[in-house]
């Protein structure tokens, strides 16, 4: 692979050979859920409990028969960082990373990162797939969900420019054009699709700033997206929908104490994994669409050295669309989680012990969702709570 990378560089740049550093981990994890839940990556990436299932004789079938678990599910992550010659007066580097998860006879392969970066003295240009800017801060959890669905979870192709101000680079200004790929917005029938973003011919735009003040760091940013969710039957015109979202975050690190917190507020944050979406506005003249909004927050406190104890808390609330949506007869509303979630919250303590290259972890999660009936404006009422108890045991060997 190194020979291939070198052969693709201009002849004038091959005098300095790139260096490659490999990294990754192999993990074995076991988990137990008290009821059926939404998840991804063969169950490694846990989200939230599903709504009750009922029949004529049992008010909640799931409570009595859908406990589930996995023993010694395996997962591996492999990546490399390549450092190359100076290009355009900047240090050049690249990164690629994939992840394998599942059990014998099944599983999945996830393409996580693949980007090129140029680092000047006070700025960085990144081109390729990596973390969405709203994902730069995430909690230190044992599970790979990293606080989702309360925290953003998104890796997307992007063109990102970062400028560092001050002699010690304590101020970072960022701008990015982001394109949807695997982590895309919700679409028809509750499926994910990047077509609404690509049909608009406009990428998502993000602008943000981070400030470092001693042991304290605070930042935030805003994102704009233009979607094309439909087409007019009468004149064939593409129909568009605007959506805005914002984020503020803070962290404190000193000695053995780490505190992190983040709040996301916005419309159609479905590409970030937040339970939002969009719907068709209920009117008889020219068709229109409206995004649904939500507020999602999380915080974590962690303390320790080789032995670390942490406590995570998350809360999400559905704010609706602010307009009446078309609920019947076609119910043209598309929301992560099905559209009948009013609120959800989680409390999750964990304990991690690191010895050499090995990390041993145990994590308990209590996640509760308030399910109900969607109102015309996208809010939810007449709710009932559904909770899941999850226990996760993990052994991870990193290199």
* pLDDT score for 1: 43
* Parts of the chain with a pLDDT under 70: 1-15, 55-66, 103-107, 231-236, 284-285, 329-330
Tell me how far apart the alpha carbons of residues 272 and 152 are, in angstroms, rounded to a whole number. Answer: 5
Q: Residue 270: helix, strand or coil by DSSP? A: helix
Architecture of the domain whose range is 2-11+18-398: Beta Barrel (2.40)
pTM over 0.85: yes
pLDDT at 113: 96
In order, the DSSP letters of 24-59 are: EEEEEEEEEESS-EEEEGGGTEEEEEPPP---SS-S
Q: What is the pLDDT of residue 13?
A: 46
Please state, in angstroms and as integers, the Cα–Cα distance from residue 177 to each residue in 128, 231, 348, following that order.
11, 25, 34
- pLDDT value at position 5? 44
> Per-domain residue ranges for the chain?
2-11+18-398
Q: pLDDT, tens digit, for every residue of 229-262?
A: 876 655 668 889 999 999 999 999 999 999 999 9
Look at residues 73, 154, 112, 139 and name the one whose alpha carbon lies nearest to residue 352. Answer: 139
3-state secondary structure of 351: strand
User: Residue 131 has which token pair?
Assistant: 């973390």
pLDDT attached to residue 2: 45
Of the candidates 219, 198, 207, the one whose C-alpha atom is nearest the C-alpha of residue 176 is: 207
Neighbours of 27 (CB within 10 A): 20
The Cα 361–Cα 195 span in angstroms is 39
Predicted confidence at residue 9, as pLDDT, reads: 47
Tokens 């929908």, residue located: 241
- Per-residue model confidence (pLDDT) at position 7: 47
Q: What is the pLDDT of residues 330-384, one digit of tens each?
A: 678 999 988 899 999 999 999 999 999 999 999 999 999 999 999 999 999 999 9
């Amino acid at each position: 692979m190194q020979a291939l990378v070198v052969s693709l560089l201009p002849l004038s740049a091959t005098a300095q050979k790139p260096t490659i550093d490999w990294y990754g981990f192999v993990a074995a994890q076991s988990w137990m859920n008290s009821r059926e839940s939404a998840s991804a990556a063969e169950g490694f990436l846990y989200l939230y409990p599903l709504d009750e299932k009922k029949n004529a004789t049992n008010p909640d079938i799931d409570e009595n028969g859908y406990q589930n678990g996995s023993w010694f599910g395996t997962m591996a992550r492999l990546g490399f960082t390549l450092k190359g010659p100076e290009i355009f007066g900047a240090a050049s580097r690249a990164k690629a990373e994939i992840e394998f998860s599942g059990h014998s006879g099944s599983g999945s392969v996830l393409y996580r990162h693949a980007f090129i970066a140029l680092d000047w003295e006070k700025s960085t240009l990144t081109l390729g797939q990596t973390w969405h800017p709203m994902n730069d801060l995430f909690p230190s959890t044992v599970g790979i969900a990293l606080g989702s669905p309360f925290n953003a979870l998104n890796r997307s192709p992007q063109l990102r420019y970062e400028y560092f101000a001050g002699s010690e680079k304590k101020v970072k200004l960022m701008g990015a054009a982001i394109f949807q790929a695997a982590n895309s917005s919700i679409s028809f029938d509750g499926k994910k699709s990047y077509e609404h973003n690509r049909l608009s011919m406009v990428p998502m735009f993000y602008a943000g700033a981070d400030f470092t003040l001693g042991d304290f760091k605070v930042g935030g940013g805003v994102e704009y997206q233009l979607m094309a969710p439909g087409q007019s039957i009468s004149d064939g015109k593409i129909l568009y929908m605007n959506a805005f979202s914002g984020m503020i975050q803070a962290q404190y690190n000193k000695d053995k104490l780490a505190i992190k917190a983040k709040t996301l507020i916005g419309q159609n944050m479905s590409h970030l994994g937040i339970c939002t979406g969009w719907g068709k506005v209920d009117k008889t003249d020219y068709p229109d669409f409206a995004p649904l909004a939500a507020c999602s927050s999380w915080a974590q406190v962690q303390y320790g050295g080789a032995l670390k104890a942490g406590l995570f808390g998350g809360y999400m609330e559905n704010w609706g669309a602010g307009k009446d949506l078309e609920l019947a007869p076609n119910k043209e509303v598309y929301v992560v989680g099905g559209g009948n979630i009013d609120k959800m919250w989680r409390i999750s303590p964990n304990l991690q012990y690191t010895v050499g290259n090995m990390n041993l972890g145990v994590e308990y999660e209590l996640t509760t969702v308030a399910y109900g009936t969607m109102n015309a404006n996208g809010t939810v009422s007449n709710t009932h709570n559904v909770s899941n108890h999850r226990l996760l045991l993990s052994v991870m060997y990193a290199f």
